Amino acid sequence: MAFDTYLLKRADFIFKDEEDWKNILTRTLKLPPNAIINELMSSELKGRGGAGFPTGLKWKLTAEAPGNEKYIICNADEGEPGTFKDREILTLVPHKVLTAMAVCAHVIGAQQGYIYLRGEYKYLVEQLNQAIDEFHTICQSLGCQFTIRIFLGSGAYICGEETALFESMEGKRGEPRNKPPYPTQVGYKNCPTVINNVETLAHAFTIFKYGAKKFYDLGVQYSRGSKLFSVSGDTPKPGIYELELGMSLEDFVNEFGDGDTKAVQVGGASGFLVPRKKFKATAIGYKGKLSGISLPTGGSMMLFNSSRSMYNVLDNYLEFFREESCGQCTPCRVGCQQLYQGIKAVKRGEKPAGYLDKLLKLTETMKLTAKCGLGQSVANSFSSIVENFREEMIY
Amino acid sequence: MNPINDLIKQLTEQHGRKRESLLPILQGVIEQEKYLSEYAMIEIARAMDLPTAEVYGTATFYSFMEHRKAGTYIIRVCKTITCSMKGKNQILQTIEDMLKISLGETTPDGRFSLLQTNCLGWCHKAPAMLINDEVFTDLTPEKVREILKTFLQTTQN
Ligand SMILES: Cc1cc2nc3c(=O)[nH]c(=O)nc-3n(C[C@H](O)[C@H](O)[C@H](O)COP(=O)(O)O)c2cc1C
Ligand code: SF4
Ligand code: FES
């Protein structure tokens, strides 16, 4: 099959100033829940927090779940290294997120919503609370009793994992729960809960305003719509860019690289490192019909040029995981330590090069046995770095 | 009575005594005191009718909940990959030289503590650091010296 790469295409929805958002809110709240769910489903919007679950389906399952008390929570924990887009959304267009939360509340039957904001963004609380106050006044004038509150985190990456986030909001250690049951059935305070990434909610607003088709027409099959990318590292133009999904990594590097790009980390420390020779064969989007390798991403794109040591990169990630592992389950708690010590031992010559293969097997075990996405995804960056840059790990 | 008891009383009245209020209450104490003393944790447990071990176990989970005495200004320098590549070590060195403390220490006058932290969400403007809740980005040694100077001046008065 011919390799159908797609060109990098810019989009401009998320940060567009929509002065008529109050009308969109009024208009959408009048629609029956089913119509809203159908619109979201036909847009094929998938979660922008990393896992890519269809948003319409998430709202539908929560709406159908038995229970009188339900919640909508906006996940603004944004802790993945290399991600900084949610902060920008909450700074520039908070009313889009709040509108989508109110519409979700209407669909699932919730009275209360929360924004779980990472402690690192505490400086945003004041202006965000102003936006929320203004929003409440408008909701009340529409006869809608829904209210939103900010819940502040305190410096723990794992609290971005949805069930750890509920634990944290319940006043406990941020330790992930077993899944299933999923949040749509058993979430915050054991009630059915929709938890969505900030950007997912902002896209929902675009769909309410412009209709599902406009969104669906962007991107490629199985990866519809646009996505914000947080671009950092060795690039002449670091920043936040809205691009259509489905582009090839080669195109991306042509646009954002510094002419000497050696590798790109797609999806943050828990994502994959792609070496130069695989740029052409890699596309950015959800798994599906894209030929070649398709990598979903929360939007973190970190570029490395040839002056960078991939050993140092991996060492930095492993230090991150070792510190941020909640320590609840053995494969992850011990595994992260072993990987961190292990690559140092190989580098210092205390262990033979073949020890790297043992470590690779360890990451496979972690993928299968760790309780949550943190421990399961350490294998992604570890194997993609060790397999592609083995010499740099040894010498 | 220790003034911290007044603060805890005020916070429990504001947020309620349910378990869901524990984080906001701990955060409220930290905002005032910069850290959670053993005494504060015992008193919070008493006020909320929780085992002290639960309060301690929860508080120590979160990296922004200091339980060792910390300075009025807590400096947290980002050490994750992009900041690391863009000169984090020089930033740390500059701060250490200026305040005459090492990483993890507090100045003898109790004004500044120097810590590292993970990705702050400002990688496109790396290197970055927090001083209490305020963010500083695109740091260079010169810029850091200027920033610290203003903090040193304001705290002297
Ligand atoms: C370790 C870990 C950290 C996560 N951090 C975040 C985060 O900071 N923000 C976020 O939206 N989702 C994060 N997620 C994904 C959430 O668990 C969840 O899938 C997401 O909030 C769902 O929203 P969406 O469907 O709109 O993407 C994280 C997952 C894991 C395993
Ligand atoms: S995989 Fe890691 S972060 Fe997840 S529950 Fe286990 S120890 Fe905690
Ligand atoms: S790596 Fe320092 S702000 Fe992201």
- C-alpha span between A217 and A230 (Å, rounded): 23
Q: Which chain A residues are within 8 Å of B135, Cβ to Cβ?
A: 123
Start-end of CATH 3.40.50.11540 domains in chain A: 11-217
Q: Which residues pair with B50 in a beta bridge?
A: none
Asked whether the beta carbons of residue A324 and residue B117 sit closer than 8 angstroms, the reply is no
- A336 Cβ closer than 6 Å to some ligand 2 atom: no
Quickly list DSSP for A153-218.
--S-GGGGSHHHHHHHHTTS---PPPSSSPTTTS-GGGS-EEEEEHHHHHHHHHHHHH-HHHHHTS
Atom of ligand 3 nearest to the CA of B79: 2
Among protein residues, the one with the nearest Cα to ligand 1's atom 12 is A49
| A242: nearest Cα among A92, A344, A62, A378 | A92
- For residue B110, the distance in angstroms to the closest alpha carbon of chain A comes to 22
Checking if the pLDDT of B71 tops 70, the result is yes
Nearest Cβ partner for B21 among A79, A118, A171? A171
Checking if the pLDDT of A372 tops 80, the result is yes
Among protein residues, the one with the nearest Cα to ligand 1's atom 7 is A160
| Mean pLDDT, residues A265-274 taken together | 96
Asked whether the beta carbons of residue B19 and residue A230 sit closer than 8 angstroms, the reply is no
pLDDT grade, residue A48 (50/70/90)? very high
Q: What is the CATH number of domain B73-156?
A: 3.40.30.10
pLDDT grade, residue A96 (50/70/90)? very high
Give me the pLDDT at residue B156, please: 58
Q: Which CATH number fits domain A310-394: 3.40.50.10320, 1.10.3720.10, 1.20.1440.230, 2.40.50.220?
A: 1.20.1440.230
- A153 Cβ closer than 6 Å to some ligand 1 atom: no
Q: Is B42 on the interface with A (CB under 8 A)?
A: no
Sequence ranges of the domains in chain B? 3-61, 73-156
% of chain B exceeding 70 in pLDDT: 97
Start-end of CATH 1.20.1440.230 domains in chain A: 310-394
Give me the pLDDT at residue A50, please: 81
**Encoded tokens for A23:** 């009308």
| Mean pLDDT, residues A201-224 taken together | 96
Ligand 3 centroid–CA A301 distance in Å is 12
* Tens of pLDDT, residues B7-34: 999 999 999 999 999 999 999 999 999 9
For the domain made up of A220-305, the CATH class stated in words is alpha beta
Cα A362 to Cα A248, A315, A318, A336, distances in angstroms = 31, 16, 14, 10
Contact A73, A195 (CB under 8 A): yes
| A171: nearest Cα among B57, B8, B7, B35 | B57
Q: Which residue of B has its CA nearest to A123?
A: B133
- For residue A85, the distance in angstroms to the closest alpha carbon of chain B comes to 8
Give me the pLDDT at residue A298, please: 86
Asked whether the beta carbons of residue B125 and residue A238 sit closer than 8 angstroms, the reply is yes
Checking if the pLDDT of B1 tops 70, the result is no
* Tens of pLDDT, residues A315-335: 999 999 999 999 999 999 999
| Mean pLDDT, residues A298-313 taken together | 97
pLDDT grade, residue B2 (50/70/90)? confident
- A47 Cβ closer than 6 Å to some ligand 1 atom: yes
Asked whether the beta carbons of residue A152 and residue B118 sit closer than 8 angstroms, the reply is no
Q: Which residue of B has its CA nearest to A316?
A: B81
Q: What is the DSSP letter of B79?
A: -
| Mean pLDDT, residues B54-58 taken together | 97
pLDDT grade, residue A221 (50/70/90)? confident
- A261 Cβ closer than 6 Å to some ligand 1 atom: no
- B123 Cβ closer than 6 Å to some ligand 3 atom: yes
* Tens of pLDDT, residues A97-109: 999 999 999 999 9
Q: Which chain B residues are within 8 Å of A114, Cβ to Cβ?
A: none
- To the nearest 10°, report the CA torsion of A369, A374, A376, A381: -150
Domain A11-217 CATH superfamily: NADH-ubiquinone oxidoreductase 51kDa subunit (3.40.50.11540)
Start-end of CATH 3.10.20.600 domains in chain A: 220-305
